Each structure stands twice: as C-alpha cells, then as structure tokens.
Amino acid sequence: MAQFWRPYQKRYICDQGRLQLYCKSRQIGISEASSFKGAREAATNRRRDVYFVSTNFANAKDLIRKAKWWLQVMAKIRPNLAPSLALVTENVSMLELANGSRLIALPCKPGSVRGKSGTIILDEAAHYENDMEMYAAIAPAIISQPDLRLILVSTPFGPNGLFYKAWTGELGDETDEMHRAGLAWSRHETDVFGAVADGFPEEVLLLEDQYPSDIWAQEFLCQFISDSTLYFKHALLKKAMADVSEPDTRDAKRVLGIDLASETDKSVWVDMVKVGDSYHVLDTGDMSADDRDKPLTYPEQYDVLTKKIANTDYYQVAVDATGEGKGLSQWLQRDFGSGRVVGVHFTNQWKAKYIPQLKLDMARSRFHMPNHSKLRADFQKIKRKVTTANNEIFAASRDADGHADGFFAALLGYSMLYRPPKPKSKPRAKAHKPSNASLAKKYMGY
C-alpha cells in the first residue's frame, strides 16, 4: 500500500520502535497515517489491542472511523487477509477483528490508559491538560510489558508539558530507567516545508502570509513558541479544554453566540450552557455551504440561523451587531424579538468588561470548551494592550482561519450567561401631579 503514502508518512508507518515521537505540521496527513498504522498493526498481529487517545473522545472515535476504512481497503488489496479482518464487533468506539485484535478509542483520562498493553497512540499529545498524569499512568507498563508500544504525535504547544519534555529529553527519572532497559524514543519531524519537499501540495505554503509569524512557526514549522505575549496562556487553555464529562443540561440556561462575519468570511456559532457556576461550550461550527468550502451569503445565513434558533430551546441568542452584521442581527430580532435575540456591539468597553472575567473563570475551572483546533487558535489570537490613558484594549489578528471568530462567538454566549439582561420591570403607577393651587396652599399658606 506504499502508493498511498508520501516518504515522511512511510517512515512513520514503518517504524516498529516501542517508543515513538512525531513532531508535525498541521494539515499534512499524519492523523490519517496514524489511523492506518493502528489498523495495520491490528490486522497483522493476532489478539493485538490498539488504543487511540486524542484531545477529546469525539476525535479519538474519528480515528476509529478512519481505521475502519483502512481495514476495508486492506481487505480488498490483500484478499488473503480478508477473513481475519472481518469485524465481529463494531461500534463508534471499538472494532474487534476476527483475528482477536481490537481497535479502541479511549477518553483523554489517566485512568483510561492505566494498565493497558498493546499499542497506545496519543494523538495531539501536546494539547492535553493532564498529559503528565497520562504518562505517569502508562510509564510503569513500558518497562514491565515488553509488548507495549507508545506513540506520541502532535503539533507543538509551547515549551512545556509531556510532548516537549519527551522531545527534548527532559522527562527525568522515567527516561533514565528506560535507558537502563535499553529503550529510547525514535523521533520523526516534518514541518510544512519538509512535507512539500516530499510531495505534499505546495499551495499550503501560500498560507504563510495569512498567519501571524508566531502561530505559523508553531503550527506549521514545528517550533515550541513561548506564550509570553498571549493573553490566554497555554496552561490556561489546557485547563479549559480538559476532557470532562458532558454537563447535565436539563433545566440549564442554554445560549447561542453568533459572530457574524462579512460575506467573504465565515460566520461562527458557539452553543453554550451554564450549569451551576460553570460555563460549558457544547459545540461550535461555521456557516459554509454544504457543497463548497465558501461562506454563505447573508440571506443563506439568515435561513440557517432562523431554523437553528426555532428548533432549539435557547434561553437567548447573542448576535454580533457590529458593522456589516447589523442588518442580519436586525432581521433575527424582528423574527424572534429583541428579548430573545440580543444584538451586541463589540466596543472596547464591552470587551474590557467580559474578556478578563472569562479568563478569571477559566483560571477557576469554571469555563470549559472542547479541544477544537480552530477554537483553540482563536483564543490564542487575543492580545491585550494598555493605552497611555491606562485603558485596556483587546485586539485579535486576522489569518487564514478568520478573525478570532470562534472566540468572539464564545464571548457573546458567555456574556449572556454571566450577566443576562435584567427582565423589564413592571411599569410604575403614574404619580398624581398636584395642581398649582394645592402647591401654593402647601408651601405658601394660602
């Protein structure tokens, strides 16, 4: 099946080392190679368990879905393997083959990997909040179970955490113990230029001018960039993106935040809920046409949003009413009422009120969001400046993924949940206005 893969993917797929690291650029097909690597390992070994862990359980299950497709491809290309590749058990998080091997998606929690044998693939390992705890749960088995294979794959995410320490050889006592056992990490590194040199479409290089230099360096050039200039630090984002159980949304206030873009960008929505004193991003997405990766026109966006709002029991909908989005905001308010659809203007005062408060709730473990790559990148675009008059100004850079649209959609939803508009007070009874004659009698004695 070598014809499917570029040289950098082949080197990774063919690596049989027990400990493997892959530092990679975004969008160059390494997650696809990981799903094939796991599928091939299960297909060519009897009773082999292969575990996929990713930034959240949904992403891990997506790797299972891709692995299933590769099993079907292998069965067609190598008919002699087809009987052993037949699925005897199948669901969204587990595939069991006729040869006794299993492909299993696991949640990103230390307890899920403790005591496992077989092959463990940690996808986007640099982005786990509990990465060191995950490693501590696996490490004892590396020495005691000779058949265990551990694979860490990720784009960099700052000079800290498990992936950075493994890449730089700073894991400490665990690494010394591995050396004594004759174990060492095999390293693979492919930045975007290396991928293009190996045959990846060179159009990806055109994206460089559309990203800030620090984001481009970390996401595409495999550089561990410091977060000293970021308002939302790496550790804070990891805390917010920790893979926690879905909240109980019964009787909870649910809101929709919508950052309306121009017709050349994609508008973004964020579905949020408040449970107790915690805020949860349930889902996020952008509005593009199903048959093309292009923004929807405003009439098309209006149709999508009216259906979404009408079919969901949202407490309120917060809509960006600034600039070009003002007209669309007014249409929605006309249809659903200004009490349910609230138009918000992105003034400096509004940002300075809610952005620091959101950050504080993140630090208090009161704000949770999925480990979604675009949403994570949008939070990292936010920069804080202080004017000579000592006023806070929050700005965001624009790049190929937009203008921090996901962040501002989340901020809109958060602003409604943090302090929703006060209900309109009942009209006061009209006070009796005394006549001029009664006033004269009261104050002048006649």
On the question of pLDDT at 305 being above 60, the answer is yes
Where residue 408 falls among pLDDT bands split at 50, 70, 90? Answer: very high
Contact 354, 414 (CB under 8 A): yes
Within a domain: 179: yes
Question: Of the ranges 98-107, 135-144, 346-355, 410-419, which is most confident?
Answer: 98-107
At residue 226, what is the residue type? S
Contact residues for 177 (Cβ-Cβ < 8 A; gap 6+): 143
The mean pLDDT value of the chain amounts to: 85
On the question of pLDDT at 6 being above 80, the answer is yes
Mean pLDDT of all residues in 343-369: 91
Q: Give the pLDDT confidence score for residue 374 in this predicted structure.
A: 83
154 lies in which domain range?
A: 2-209
Residues 399 and 305 in one domain: yes
Within a domain: 310: yes
CA distance 391 to 347: 13
Contact 191, 60 (CB under 8 A): no
Mean pLDDT of all residues in 196-204: 93
On the question of pLDDT at 33 being above 70, the answer is yes
Q: How many domains does the chain have?
A: 2
On the question of pLDDT at 320 being above 60, the answer is yes
Within a domain: 69: yes
Within a domain: 442: no
Q: Give the pLDDT confidence score for residue 377 in this predicted structure.
A: 85
CA distance 446 to 310: 65
Residues 169 and 315 in one domain: no
Question: Of the ranges 193-207, 214-228, 256-270, 317-331, which is most confident?
Answer: 193-207
Within a domain: 438: no
CA distance 414 to 358: 8
On the question of pLDDT at 404 being above 70, the answer is yes
| 278-286 sheet: strands from edge to edge | 341-344, 316-320, 253-259, 268-275, 278-286, 367-368
Q: Which residues pair with 254 in a beta bridge?
A: 273
Q: Give the pLDDT confidence score for residue 19 in this predicted structure.
A: 94
CA distance 95 to 117: 17
Residues 304 and 372 in one domain: yes
Contact 37, 67 (CB under 8 A): no
Residues 151 and 273 in one domain: no
Last residue of a domain, one of 176, 194, 209: 209
CATH number, domain at 155?
3.40.50.300
Measured on CA atoms in the order 269, 273, 278, 281, is the torsion positive or negative?
negative
Q: Give the pLDDT confidence score for residue 429 in this predicted structure.
A: 44
Last residue of a domain, one of 156, 174, 209: 209
Residues 196 and 297 in one domain: no
What the block records as the tokens of 245 is 């159980």
Residues 246 and 119 in one domain: no
Taking only the tens place, the pLDDT of each residue in 218-267 is 899 999 988 877 889 888 988 888 766 677 777 788 999 998 776 556 78
Query: Among 37-41, 272-276, 317-321, whose mean pLDDT is lowest?
Result: 317-321
Where residue 313 falls among pLDDT bands split at 50, 70, 90? Answer: confident
Residues 263 and 138 in one domain: no
On the question of pLDDT at 441 being above 50, the answer is no
Question: Burial letters for 285-310: b for 16+ Cβ neighbours within 10 Å, e otherwise?
Answer: ebbeeeeeeebbebeebbeebeebbe
Contact residues for 343 (Cβ-Cβ < 8 A; gap 6+): 319, 321, 326, 329, 330, 333
Q: Give the pLDDT confidence score for residue 173 in this predicted structure.
A: 54
In a 13 Å sphere around the CA of 64, the CA atoms on its Cβ side amount to 27
Residues 318 and 275 in one domain: yes
Where residue 56 falls among pLDDT bands split at 50, 70, 90? Answer: confident
CATH number, domain at 290?
3.30.420.240
Tell me whether strands 87-91 and 94-97 are parallel, antiparallel or unpaired.
antiparallel
Q: Give the pLDDT confidence score for residue 420 in this predicted structure.
A: 58
Share of the chain above pLDDT 90, in %: 42
What the block records as the tokens of 332 is 């929605």
Where residue 71 falls among pLDDT bands split at 50, 70, 90? Answer: very high
Residues 186 and 244 in one domain: no
Mean pLDDT of all residues in 294-312: 81
Of residues 295, 289, 285, the one with CA closest to residue 324? 295
Within a domain: 216: no
First to last CA, the chain: 109
Residues 263 and 369 in one domain: yes
On the question of pLDDT at 291 being above 70, the answer is no
Q: Which residues pair with 50 in a beta bridge?
A: 103, 119
Residues 317 and 279 in one domain: yes
On the question of pLDDT at 150 being above 90, the answer is yes
Looking at per-residue confidence, does 282 or 387 come out higher? 282
Tell me whether strands 253-259 and 268-275 are parallel, antiparallel or unpaired.
antiparallel
Where residue 130 falls among pLDDT bands split at 50, 70, 90? Answer: confident
What the block records as the tokens of 59 is 């992403």
Q: Give the pLDDT confidence score for residue 2 in this predicted structure.
A: 54
Residues 198 and 123 in one domain: yes
Q: Give the pLDDT confidence score for residue 244 in this predicted structure.
A: 60
On the question of pLDDT at 309 being above 90, the answer is no
